[in-house]
Structure 1
Amino acid sequence: MGAVIGVRRRGWQAVRATGRLLLGLLLVPVCLIGLALFLLTFVSSATFIGLIILPYVVRLNRWIAGRGRRVAAGWLGRPVTAEYATIEGGVLARARIVLGDPMTWRDTAWIAGHIVTGPILAALGLGVWAALGFGPSLPIWWWAPLPEHAVYLLGFAVDSWPRVIVAVPLLVAAVATAGSYVLPWLATAEAVLTRLLLATPERVRLAERVAELTETRTAALDAHGAELRRIERDLHDGAQARLVSIAMRLGVAERMLAADPDQAATLIAEARLSTEETMTELRDIIRGMYPPILADRGLPGAVAALAARCPIPVAATVTGVDRLPAAVEAAAYFVVAEALTNVARHSAAATATVHVSAADDLLTLRVSDDGRGGADETAGTGLAGIRRRVAAFDGGTDLSSPPGGPTTLTVELPCG
């Protein structure tokens, strides 16, 4: 039973491999078009028209390479990914980007190579099936009125019915066995070659990752420095000044206590009131460093409190969130707080929603409103600060705010 299952599995693998090889063959005409257009526009890139057309041809080749990656990934069972430079800017900038992107030349090399290897591998695959189909037709070839009235297989003459009866099963079994190994090997060879050429090299990924982490670390250090300066400024200009004022009032009251008790009592009352205001201000500063509500009620309670304090109606939902690392909770709290502040100040929205969820070591925050949209990160609305704070955790920020609304801010924070 196990042998039968193994034979069926190998047969199915051979069929799948043939399908992959034929899909690769179907890409060959498109590759010819893409390569011809690229060579034509590259040669004519010395002219202004060539520079204009070149990015569009590169986009076409990226699409062709994407189809090749998809075919290879389907056979290998894992994705074949590539990272391209974003094509933007003016005519010269766009041409410089596509010509300076290493993936442009890797795509071109794969397209040129696939024009040759695609038909060869497909022909080899179809040749296996042709050899397999020759076995059952062997009696016809032998029975046909050939000059020698015999068919030779590797020097073995098939010139009688007993020899036909022996040769046909042996030929079919031999070709089927060889094909069950050869066809998957051909498909694997094509997929591996595609992955080698079309996947972004690991060294490039590591270099880009190092650059990204360096950038986010710099942003985190800048944000941390700005936060320390803000706290110092608040303490110096606020709490410290109030404490100096309290000390001065108490000193004056101490000197006036014997001569004018009523005036001294007034100064003491003012000092007490100023002390309460200073305590409130200190609590606000502490809340800006790490909100106490996070320690008391966790992120769900803190989000509910932020929604309740917002001037516009906010529907807040939190699912799958338990206690998280303190830094992640604080970052999520400030993201929601800043987002709701933006909604209240700039969106002219009637309602807003906040949804917080955690799954697979990833905390997702989504803040939406039905306002006028058109949110701009460069307009000093705090969105750039949110992005920097999230980048420090190696998270992601996505903003959708078309003119007329709605606006949706989605933030993902690793929380493992």
Structure 2
Amino acid sequence: MSGVAVEDLLGLWSEELRGAKARLRPLFLQSGTAASAGAFLDGLLGPERRKTGWMRAEAAGDTGPWRQQAVLGRTSWDADALRDVVRDYALDALAEPDATLVIDETGFLKQGRASCGVGRQYTGSAGKITNCQIGVFAVYTSSKGHAFIDRRLYLPKDWTGTPDRLVKAHVPEDVRFATKPAIAAAMVRRAIDAGVPFAWVAADSVYGVGELEMVLRRAGKGYVLGVTGSHHFNSWSPTLSVSGTAEKIARDLPAESWIRLSAGDGTKGPRLYDWAYLELADFDPEMVGATPGLGLWTRGLLVRRRPVDGELAFFTTWCRHGTPVDTLVRVEGQRWSIEDAFETAKTELGLDHNETRSWHGWHRHVSLVMLAFALLAVVRHKADTLATPPKTMRKVPHLWSVGRCRRSVVLPTA
């Protein structure tokens, strides 16, 4: 946000914070509760490292955390309505037709057994099986920025199969066990029903095959979804004969099948990897129940190789026929946005500082953090717009897949 005058930046912050609080007010029946929710938002955005009830209360000038706790527990308001408010607020600033919806999960370390959804389960946040909650999230990512637009607490089977635990944690009666891919598919359907403009979905291997794939194919949305090396691929193309696991196929590719491309800028510059892309089959989407008239689409295998040690990662892809490999690489590279969002939300906004134990307490806390994060994203985008004049886009050459009837992904040296 360099290049913006301080007074302009302060004015932008003030305007956006007032606007965010105005969006909050209709969710509450009482003005006092709406004011407490606004103070809650102030606390999340404040300088305190711990965003606990006491810390937020002190920042708001309260003598105790009771008003802050009431926002999460004792009052009656709809956290899903706030989720939708956050989504619409973020889209007002960040929407683009070719945006990517990135889906991933994160863990919340906990003590004891009372917090809703808690149990011994694997979380990448800790890199091991530990006592924690797991939340599945969707982040909207475009060239203008990224923000959370959806979330859901994952309930393991030892929760959904124990009615007494569900009652004590105030889990709604209509909530049943759902796998993480099923939760992701529900988020995609919700985004489509809400008219969210996006063209792609990216996710890791937890979500790579099954229900999510079918939802996206029927909706005419492209995807780059992680799969394991043991996932089996077959080519149905008459010009390319491939059959075997993703790892075996990648190991057998000739050197000329690989091209070095950046998956986007990181903290140390471009994130360069070697990539290979195989177009395995062309489909008319009507074959999988999609709306007629979408044209020809291609199922493929995208492989990423780390130059330092040759470590491989594999992705199943679905895209419009003729989509260049650099587009698929860009979509896969946008998965970093949700990692950035988790880190920022946890270290700066108190995403994992939730002190409640109930279903609605978790979703209320997380939705308020999502609003705080969306505010940051909107302020950054608008500040960048003030500071940076429009630039002429440089035309990027199209890079095609491996295949006998197409140009190689390796372009001749100029």
Please tell me the TM-score bracket, short chain as reference.
under 0.3
More strand by share: 2
| TM-score when normalising by structure 1 | 0.18
Larger RCO (alpha carbons 8 Å, 6+ apart): 2
More helix by share: 1
